[in-house]
Chain A
């Protein structure tokens, strides 16, 4: 459906461009032409990509605005717990003094345990040790909106306020179709260009072969499908580059960064590894990483779509071939069996004749 729409709009824009270039210069026609061109552009890859990026930026600004001044009770709570813990420790010290080490140790251990439980509870309820201003920086919000509409959902940054939640739902409702449009479009375009590349490379190599074998042979024109191994190579190369990049930046080991790339590109998104989300990191250094991660994920999704397209085609062709081969094989086997059966029939007949 999309493709038809695009094609029709592209054709119409071409047609109209031709018509305007000839003689007609009606202002209404011109406006119509401009509009048509604009729509045609919106449905091209650039338009859709720009739409996605704009949508993400818009969402980032919106979420930042909503979430930035949310009152954080957790932060206050944690501070209060720490104060009370200090107070208790002081009391213990006051009571037991320096002279009774074991008792002091025992009591302070108990106090520490209570503190620890409180904090781990708070973490389970979303305490991250950072203030909302720190968390909802612009790149982080960008990453958040990306993770919403690509359905990755890292979950390292989550909305706390009710308005944030409601707007997340609405944002996803509109964002996911846009993203799917991007996914299909990007996949198609990348698949076509990759196919063209592959075919040209293929033709080049084949023509040489043909020339070596005999000069006058006509290369047989047949439909070339990109094998799925080529797609797998592309994807694994992309993952490898991501592995090396994130490994160098985040000081993750290679397994961890491979794991991160696969989990991101598969849209699972556990969120246990997110670039630039380290607590110990300063907020300033991580912004660039987040932006680059944004680009990496968005491009990678396009590549995945491309591979999906190509592999579907390839698998269809393979299945057809396999079916034909199976049919041939079955025919062969049935032929053999019938021959065998006839032989045994003859054998039996001969035997019975002999007995007679």
Chain B
């Protein structure tokens, strides 16, 4: 009895643990973000949709009032006989009316073109602009409850979205690295070209590497740790086999056969053949994905490509010209979000729904891609920094 209960308890615990792990995995975070956005969309629709009808009727009443005023105060008093005076009065009245319209549109009246501003898709886009901190502002809450809910929704949603960004950004960075290694450098994913590398590596003379890495003159004055701030797998002092350290880290070397001088900073380093363990060393030779660094130019080119793709997509969809589309994409992806261009805003066609969906998909993916590029660029910059530091150190050492 007790044993069965314990089994049940452990099973439940396992389920819960699995569920939590799933929630924090990539798929779970994406699902969570989308579910949160959809929930927000329903909530805002319910809160804001009611007050919208009121505004439309308000505006109709305003127009009636203006016509009435024009009739009673202007036409009846000035009559027909004084054309210029009448026109002047009407012009002044119309200016007032125009001001009223501008204010009303600012307050969220959409001009009566589409009767329902807070449709599901636009509410979805709204809640997305809140949690991504884009904030277009083409839709904004008018009721006080809407404002309060927006504040709390943002406070809860932004950490969630940050979680999404970091998770998906990491994942995409790994993929991008892999693809970069596969395509641009004619290498393979980990394990694929292991054999070739082993073959190549056996051709290299190890003593050459050794002499480059550690010139003889440095030895007496400086300790090992000072020469090599990065963990370099050259470990004759540690006979303990450490497979992680012996990874063959040559991914970022562009043309190894033409350039037999290995770059020690980029992580090219040779595990020295230890007495008796040479063959076991070779089995560990593999690519470590973490050591690939993608150059900044590739990231920038990728982002520019994504921007141009977006500008073409939205240009086709919304009839914007190329500059406007690129401007919209940039402003959105950098989370500035002016809101002067919003998809589905200007053209009131039945395609609005899909346009909203496409826009939100583009934004979600784009933000993750920006995060990915930040990851990669940060890595690269850190790498350059370490490079520079080491070079400066060496130069200083040479001088003095």
Contact = CB atoms under 8 A, between A and B. Distances in A.
Query: Which secondary structure dominates chain B's binding surface?
Result: helix
A268 B129 contact: yes
**Chain A facing B: main interface SS:** helix
Given A82-B91, A90-B87, A109-B64, A165 B147 contact: no
A32 to B, nearest CB: 14
Given A117-B111, A268-B154, A153 B135 contact: yes
5 contacts: A98-B75, A117-B113, A120-B113, A126-B340, A341-B6
B227 interface: no
A6 to B, nearest CB: 13
B79 interface: yes
Interface stretch (B174-182, B218-226, B328-336): B328-336
B137 A109 contact: no
A86 B111 contact: no
Interface in B117-160: 129-130, 133-137, 140, 144, 147-148, 150-151, 154-155, 158
Contact of A155 (B3, B97, B137, B323): B137
Interface in A59-117: 78, 82-83, 85-87, 89-90, 93-94, 97-98, 101, 104-105, 108-109, 112-113, 115-117
Contacts of B326: 169
A263 interface: yes
A155 B90 contact: no
Nearest to A258: B151
Contacts of A270: 135-137, 140, 339
A120 B327 contact: no
B337 A153 contact: yes
Contacts of B39: none
Contact of B336 (A78, A120, A151, A344): A151
A289 B349 CA distance: 41
Closest 5 CB pairs of A and B: A120-B111, A268-B135, A153-B336, A270-B137, A155-B338
B102 A151 contact: no
Interface residues of A, number: 67
A259 B111 CA distance: 25
Given A124-B346, A279-B103, 15 more contacts: A82-B94, A85-B94, A87-B87, A90-B87, A93-B80, A98-B80, A104-B75, A112-B67, A117-B113, A120-B111, A123-B111, A256-B147, A259-B151, A262-B155, A268-B135
A210 B330 CA distance: 58
Given A151-B336, A341-B2, A162 B136 contact: no
Given A90-B87, A153-B339, A172-B336, A115 B94 contact: yes
Given A172-B334, A269-B137, A124 B111 contact: yes
Interface string A150-192: 0111110010001001101100100010000000000000000
B316 interface: no
Contacts of B1: 344
Interface of A: 1, 78, 82-83, 85-87, 89-90, 93-94, 97-98, 101, 104-105, 108-109, 112-113, 115-117, 119-121, 123-129, 147-148, 151-155, 158, 162, 165-166, 168-169, 172, 176, 255-256, 258-259, 262-263, 266-272, 279-280, 337, 340-341, 344
A162 B323 contact: yes
A116 B109 CA distance: 12
A112 B69 CA distance: 12
B112 interface: yes
Contacts of A169: 326-327, 330
B330 A172 contact: yes
Given A104-B75, A121-B111, A1 B137 contact: no
Given A153-B331, A270-B140, A263 B135 contact: yes
Contacts of B86: 90, 93
A93 B75 contact: yes
A86 B94 contact: yes
Contact of A158 (B66, B103, B340): B340
Contacts of B206: none
Contact of A112 (B63, B87, B150): B63
B71 A108 contact: yes
A129 B97 CA distance: 12
Given A1-B385, A86-B90, A258-B151, A154 B144 contact: no
A34 B225 CA distance: 33
B323 A165 contact: yes
Nearest to A272: B140
